Amino acid sequence: MTPEQIEALSPAFAAYLEQFRCCCDYPQTFDLLQVYCRGLLSDLKRKTCEPVALYAGVAVRTLQEFLRDHLWSFAQARDRLQRHVAQELQQLPADDLGTVGLIDETSVVKKGTCTPGVQRQWCGEVGKQENCVVTVHLGVAHGPYQDLIDADLFLPESWDQDRQRCQQAGIPDEMHHRPKWQIALEQVDRAQDNGIALSWLTFDEDYGKAPAFLEGLDSRRLRFVGEVPKSFHCSVFRLRPGHPASRADHLVRHSPAFSRQSWRPFRLHHQTQADTRWDVKAAQV
């Protein structure tokens, strides 16, 4: 965004942030949040505290103290955001897709051993095992409207088993290791409790590989389109004793439920690149 565009949005942006004032334990300096957020929206090459403060004409130490020392209620801010999003979604025109929930995670490479949750694990940022921090997220999309509405730290089992290390890193005693799919279900429940009506959900195979996650969505009567690994076992028939399920990749190649079908073409529209064509077969499993 250009400085002119940011300046034009300033009144509306300030009004939007105002609803979160009560989430800050020291609201007297709440206006510094607008300074920081405007810096994040700017075209600064480095958006750390010092260049953001200098860009806004604010003392660097003042902004540093605001970000370092002032306490926030994350849960209260998250709930307010979700209720705001729920109101926005209700005002959008209806379409064939409805409101889509998107479950995914973000991993950030991190050196050292003291940052909460950091350890050597799969890191999507670099596509391999790496020392990193992983967070699970829930987003929503309705037509061109997109918003990120929840985020939770994934706490590895090694951290959970070392409560002294957790205390040193500021991790509360009530926080324990949960699988990523369980965190995702908790986020879905929170969003619905705050008035966000999800038409359906989508996710990658890291979540689709967990039968308990799929059962959790079923028990909530939520529709979904998600990936499963090719080694996922399923069947086109109701399973009976002595009739084991088959790997998904074997099933789609050899089962008459798929082999007797013709391929159906679908054209997928993308906002940032050319449309793509997929050939699809479908059957109930």
| Residues 143-190 pLDDT 10s | 989 999 999 999 999 999 999 999 999 999 999 999 999 999 999 999
The β-bridge partners of 52 are none
Q: What is the 8-class DSSP label of residue 99?
A: P
What pTM was estimated for this model as a whole?
A: 0.87
Q: Which pLDDT belongs to residue 237?
A: 84
Residues shown for the chain: 285
Helices (H), the chain: 3-18, 31-41, 49-56, 60-69, 74-90, 157-160, 163-168, 180-193, 205-208, 211-219, 248-254, 256-259
Closest CA to 184 of 147, 162, 216: 216
Q: Measured between alpha carbons, how far is residue 108 from residues 46, 47, 61, 74, 244 in Å?
A: 17, 16, 26, 20, 40
Tokens of 205: 């195979």
Residue range 74-229 in CATH 3.30.70.1560: no
pLDDT in tens for each of the 285 residues of the chain? 677 877 788 888 889 999 999 898 888 788 898 889 888 888 888 889 999 999 889 999 999 998 888 888 999 999 999 999 999 999 999 999 999 999 999 999 998 889 999 999 999 889 899 999 999 999 999 998 999 999 999 999 999 999 999 999 999 999 999 999 999 999 999 999 999 999 999 999 999 999 999 999 999 999 999 999 999 998 988 877 877 889 999 999 999 999 999 999 999 888 788 999 999 999 988
Euclidean distance between CA atoms 208 and 224, whole angstroms: 10
Domain limits, CATH 3.90.350.10, in the chain = 74-229
Closest CA to 84 of 153, 23, 152: 23
